[in-house]
């Protein structure tokens, strides 16, 4: 294997130069962080499972016309994606009160929201991802009004589709975080879904028991973290063939 150029290393993923111009290889790590890096750990097999889960969800979304950066899965821990210019805004969609919304407004976790709520956060580790308004986003030039319109419309479609998909496998989509990027093709720019969709950035609760099957198990020291990610993959019908013992995957090539 040739050495690949590392473009960017985040908390849970590494981006390498892709085989063709305009492509990147997205490598999924087992590393987990929470509370802006204050809590660190490893969730064994998470990278393999998130690679599969994100592949599955991005593919389904692409089938209903949601543009994404995903091209194809390459192996256990890597997928080929289109290189996009990441918009430095995290879009959070909430259906049920949990996490920072519950803390901020004193709304008990699990309270259904009268309608889906969209929030924006500025991606900045130094500033601890502050919540921002549309005014901040356009005034500071992080995204224009049309970009924002596209991001909101896509986020709501993703929410509608994924809420139904997860409900079908007995999971409540409580909330999730999306990232978007600008994709340039022949002078034309489109906003596409980027990053990943997995239990790292979605809250998923069992419909009957409200058991948490997402990264909150790690954040809140609830135990059985690996099992939660496996359970989501199992319900989606995409657990790696060798079962949970197959999830360590190949070592990264550096
Ligand atoms: P909260 O604001 O309640 O902490 O998070 C809302 C939702 O967005 C949760 O599903 C959470 O997983 C996701 N989320 C928010 N910020 C981040 C982030 O910086 N990284 C990841 N992986 N997920 C995030």
- Whole-angstrom distance, CA of residue 251 vs CA of residue 98: 35
Q: Which atom of ligand 1 is nearest to the CA of 121?
A: 16
In angstroms, what is the span from residue 200 Cα to ligand 1's centroid? 8
- Whole-angstrom distance, CA of residue 118 vs CA of residue 209: 26
pLDDT at 245 over 60: no
Q: Per-residue pLDDT tens for 71-84?
A: 999 999 999 999 99
Q: Per-residue pLDDT tens for 109-122?
A: 999 999 999 999 99
pTM assigned to the model:
0.94
pLDDT at 251 over 80: no
Q: Which atom of ligand 1 is nearest to the CA of 175?
A: 10
pLDDT at 253 over 80: no
Whether ligand 1 lies within 6 angstroms of the CB of 129 is answered as yes
Structure token digits, residue 189: 């720019």
Domain boundaries, given as residue ranges, for the chain: 6-83+223-236, 87-216
Residue of minimum CA distance from atom 11 in ligand 1:
201
How does the average pLDDT of the chain come out, rounded?
A: 94
pLDDT at 249 over 80: no
In angstroms, what is the span from residue 245 Cα to ligand 1's centroid? 28
Structure token digits, residue 239: 């657990």
Q: Which atom of ligand 1 is nearest to the CA of 123?
A: 19
Identify the CATH class of 87-216: alpha beta
Strand runs (DSSP E) across 186-228, as ranges? 188-194, 202-206
The architecture that CATH gives domain 6-83+223-236 is 2-Layer Sandwich (3.30)
Would you call 102 exposed, middle or buried from its count of C-beta atoms within 10 A (0-12, 13-18, 19+)? middle
Q: Per-residue pLDDT tens for 25-76?
A: 999 999 999 998 899 999 999 999 999 999 999 999 999 999 999 999 999 9
Per-residue pLDDT band for 2 (boundaries 50, 70, 90) equals low
Pairing of strands 31-34, 39-42: antiparallel
Residue of minimum CA distance from atom 16 in ligand 1:
177
């Amino acid at each position: 294997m040739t050495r690949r150029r590392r473009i960017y290393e985040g908390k849970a993923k590494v981006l390498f130069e892709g085989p063709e111009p305009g492509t990147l290889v997205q490598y999924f790590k087992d590393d987990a962080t929470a509370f802006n890096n204050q809590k660190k750990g490893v969730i064994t097999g998470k990278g393999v499972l998130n690679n599969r889960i994100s592949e599955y969800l991005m593919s389904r979304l692409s089938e209903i016309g949601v543009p994404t950066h995903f091209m194809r899965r390459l192996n256990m821990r890597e997928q080929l994606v289109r290189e996009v210019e990441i918009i430095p805004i995290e879009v959070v969609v909430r259906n049920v009160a949990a996490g920072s919304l519950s803390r901020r407004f004193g709304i008990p976790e699990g309270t259904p929201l009268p309608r889906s709520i969209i929030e924006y956060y500025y991606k900045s580790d130094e500033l601890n991802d502050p919540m921002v308004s549309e005014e901040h986003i356009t005034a500071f030039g992080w995204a224009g009004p049309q970009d924002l319109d596209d991001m909101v419309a896509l986020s709501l479609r993703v929410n509608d589709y994924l809420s139904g998909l997860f409900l079908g496998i007995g999971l409540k989509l409580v909330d999730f975080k999306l990232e978007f990027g600008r994709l340039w093709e022949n002078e034309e720019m489109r906003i596409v879904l980027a990053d990943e969709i997995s239990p790292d950035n979605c809250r998923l609760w069992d419909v009957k028991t409200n058991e948490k099957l997402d990264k909150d198990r790690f954040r809140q020291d609830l135990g059985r973290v690996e099992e939660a990610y496996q359970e989501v993959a199992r319900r989606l019908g995409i657990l790696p063939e060798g079962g949970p013992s197959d999830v360590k995957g190949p070592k990264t090539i550096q």
